[in-house]
């Protein structure tokens, strides 16, 4: 499996991908999932993939050479939208060639792609591509996309990243998101590829491959959990069966009685219950004297 995340901000774009394709006790595969199509000063485009590796590699090769009806390739497309259409055509081309044969072996045509960048003369744009070759575009209401094992790293991004976030803030958040995923899912693994693109730079200037020895990522991994634990410990425990008017942090109130949905045991297991007689204090003292 994999985990990739891309963010479109006012200040530029952030791309982060892992490199694991197979995971098991004795079988771990590593393939880089980020590819850069760069013509410095004219355009920068980044493509990250998840899903079937053979399908992804075929698409990456074809899209670099594919020409649309207007005679454009991704190298000559007049907009990122047109480049995304060319990528969609490449996905459909691979589907037409391979899907039926894969199906004979019980393999679904499965690929997800994040594609973003900037062509001179227009703003930064970011797209999420699907197996059918269709796509959606990121806007301010949804400033990031994820593919692969997305659920573990989503909460931190939802709480932190906005269109006004700086590239460094977004990169920090993306790495924390990746660390959360690495800790919870063996199918995602190091090394990571991280690329930050500044608006109107039209060249790749900030890229790093992050492995186990990377100083900053080691700091993230060690400090994030400790910080979470400290914040957790500052949150008060719940209070049970109290009046919210006089007590803070009440979880259940004594004024509102609630019961779980109970499943009755089989009748054969239900024993007849006899009430235990209660003794008075005088009777208890008498029993103690007799026992003594």
User: What is the structure's pLDDT at 273?
Assistant: 59
Instruction: Give the pLDDT score at 258.
Output: 84
Which residues neighbour 96 within 8 Å (Cβ) at sequence distance 6 or greater? none
187 backbone dihedrals φ, ψ, rounded to 5°: -80, 0
- pLDDT at residue 20, as a whole number: 84
Q: Please give the model's pTM, rounded to 2 decimal places.
A: 0.86
Mean pLDDT of all residues belonging to the chain: 92
pLDDT digits (tens, 9 = 90+) for 108-164: 999 999 999 999 999 999 999 999 999 999 999 999 999 999 999 999 999 999 999
> What are the E-state strand segments in 161-205?
192-198
The whole-number pLDDT of residue 257 equals 81
pLDDT exceeds cutoff 80 at 289 = no
Secondary structure (DSSP) of 161-225 = --TT--HHHHHHHHHHHHHHHHHH-TT--S-EEEEEEETT--S--EEEEE-TT-HHHHHHHHHHH
At 16-73, the pLDDT tens digits run 999 987 655 566 678 899 999 999 999 999 999 999 999 999 999 999 999 999 999 9
Q: What percent of the chain shows pLDDT beyond 70?
A: 90
> Where do the domains of the chain lie, and which CATH numbers do they carry?
3-225 (3.60.20.10)
> How confident is residue 280, by pLDDT bands cut at 50, 70 and 90?
low
Cis peptide before 17 (omega within 30 of 0): no
Residue 292 pLDDT > 70:
no
Residue with more model confidence, 187 or 228: 228
Q: In this predicted structure, what is the pLDDT of residue 186? A: 86
């Amino acid at each position: 499996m994999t985990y990739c995340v891309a963010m479109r901000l006012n200040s530029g774009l952030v791309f982060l991908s892992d490199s694991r394709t197979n995971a098991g006790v004795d079988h771990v595969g590593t393939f880089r999932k980020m590819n850069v199509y760069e013509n410095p000063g004219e355009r920068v485009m980044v493509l990250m993939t998840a899903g079937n590796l053979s399908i992804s590699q075929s698409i990456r090769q074809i899209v670099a050479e594919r020409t649309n009806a207007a005679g454009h390739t991704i190298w000559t497309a007049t907009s990122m939208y047109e480049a995304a259409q060319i990528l969609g055509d490449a996905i459909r081309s691979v589907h037409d060639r391979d899907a039926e044969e894969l199906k004979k072996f019980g393999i679904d045509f499965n690929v997800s792609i994040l594609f973003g960048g900037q062509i001179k003369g227009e703003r930064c744009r970011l797209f999420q591509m699907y197996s059918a070759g269709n796509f959606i575009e990121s806007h301010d209401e949804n400033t990031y996309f994820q593919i692969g094992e997305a659920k573990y790293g989503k909460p931190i991004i939802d709480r932190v990243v906005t269109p006004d976030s700086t590239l460094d803030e977004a990169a920090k958040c993306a790495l924390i998101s990746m660390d959360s995923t690495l800790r919870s899912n063996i199918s995602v693994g190091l090394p990571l590829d991280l690329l930050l693109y500044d608006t109107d730079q039209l060249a790749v200037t900030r890229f790093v491959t992050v492995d186990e020895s990377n100083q900053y990522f080691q700091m993230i991994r060690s400090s994030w959990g400790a910080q979470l634990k400290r914040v957790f410990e500052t949150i008060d425990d719940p209070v049970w069966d109290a009046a919210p008017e006089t007590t803070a942090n009440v979880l259940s109130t004594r004024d509102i009685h609630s019961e779980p949905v109970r499943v009755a045991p089989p009748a054969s297991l239900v024993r007849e219950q006899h009430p235990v007689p209660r003794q008075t204090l005088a009777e208890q003292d008498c029993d103690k004297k007799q026992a003594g």
